[in-house]
Amino acid sequence: MATKKLVVLGSVNADHILQVESFPRPGETVSGHGYRVVPGGKGANQAVAAGRLGADVSLIACVGDDDFGKRMINAFVKDGVQTGAVTTIPNTPTGIAIIYVDANGENSIGISAEANAHLLPELVEPHLSLLNSAHTLLMQLETPLITVEIMAKAAHLANKVVILNPAPARPLPDSLLANVTIITPNETETEILTGITVKTEEDAHKAANVFHAKGVDKVVITLGAGGAFVSDESGTRIITGFTVSPTDTTAAGDVFNGALATALLENKTMNDAVLFAHAAAAISVTRLGAQPSIPTRKEVEDFFVKE
C-alpha cells in the first residue's frame, strides 16, 4: 500500500441522477426512473478512489453548510480521506450536478459550482503546508482556475509530482502546463488543449508532443474503450483496458485518475499503474453513481485474478 502522501485539490458535488432511455431533446420531456442523490464531484471522486484503493490522501475542497455537505465530510472520513482542509462555506449549498444516464450507460451532465466557487487562493493558502509532506498533487478543473495555477506552481517549485486531469474541457494557459508533471486528458480535452483531433495512435503521438513542448513530462490520453495512449521517457504505447458492459460511465475518468495516482505512489511502473487504473475504472462503469461505483483495493485485486 502507498506510504507516500497524496493531496487532491478539487470539487465536491451532490449528484442528482435520473436514468432515462434516451437524452431529452430541446423542448422534449422524457420519463425516467431510479432517481437518487449520491456523492460526486471530480475532486471528491478522485480522493475517494485513492482512499479506497489504499492511498494516504488529503482533500482540499469546499462544501456547503447544508445537510449534504455535512454528510460528505463524514463519508470522506469513512473512505480514508483526510478532511482537515475541507472548508464549510456558510449560507451556500454544496456543488450540484444534474445527471442523465441513458440506456447505453452514457451520461449528460450539467453542474453548478456553488461552494466549489469559493475554493480561492486565500482559502487554500493555510493548507499549502500539506504539500510539504506530500509526494503528489492531483487536480481537475471544476474549481477556480487561479487556485489550480497557484497550487501547481507551488508544488512544482517544491519538486512535487503534479498530476492534472484537465476536465471539464477548457483551454489552459501554457504557464500552468509548464508546472504539470503528468496530464491525463480524454480525446475531447486533448483536442481543446492541442488543436489535434485524436482518431489514431499517430494523432495521439502528435498531441502528446504538443504537451511535451509545453513542459509536461508524461502524457496519458484516455481513449475510452480504446485504452490509454502513454507518452513518457520510455517512449509511446497504447495500454489496452478491459472489456465490460457499462451501466454508468459517470465517474470512470475520476476513478482512473485516483487509481493511477495511487499506483504511482506505490512505485508501480507507468504501464502497471495505467493497467491498475483501467481495472478500477472498468469495475466502476458496471455500477450506478459516482462514489457508490468506486471499488475497494480488494475488488480491484480480485478483478485481476479473474482476468
Quick: pLDDT tens for 50-106: 999 999 999 999 999 999 999 999 999 999 999 999 999 999 999 998 989 999 888
Is residue 11 a known part of a binding site? no
- Output 246 or 162, whichever has higher pLDDT: 162
* DSSP code at position 296: P
Is residue 44 a known part of a binding site? yes
Reply yes or no on whether 66 is catalytic: no
From start to end of the chain, where are the E strands?
Answer: 5-9, 13-20, 32-40, 56-64, 81-89, 95-101, 107-112, 134-139, 161-164, 182-183, 218-222, 228-232, 235-239
| Residue 164: pLDDT band with limits 50, 70, 90 | very high
Average pLDDT of the chain, as a whole number = 94
pTM of the model: 0.93
Of these residues, 56, 66, 203, 254, which one is catalytic? 254
For residue 245, pLDDT over 90 is answered with: no
What is the rounded average pLDDT of the residues 172-198?
97
| Confidence (pLDDT) at 51 | 96
Q: Is the peptide bond prior to 168 cis by the omega test (within 30 degrees of 0)?
A: yes
Is residue 84 a known part of a binding site? no
Is residue 132 a known part of a binding site? no
| Confidence (pLDDT) at 306 | 77
| Confidence (pLDDT) at 115 | 98
For residue 1, pLDDT over 60 is answered with: no
For residue 226, pLDDT over 80 is answered with: yes
Q: What percent of the chain has pLDDT over 90?
A: 84
Is residue 253 a known part of a binding site? yes
Rounded Cα gap, residues 300 and 275, in angstroms = 11
Secondary structure of residue 65 in the 3-state scheme: coil
- The structural domains of the chain, ordered by start, are 5-11+41-92+116-306 (3.40.1190.20)
C-alpha cell of 39?
456523492
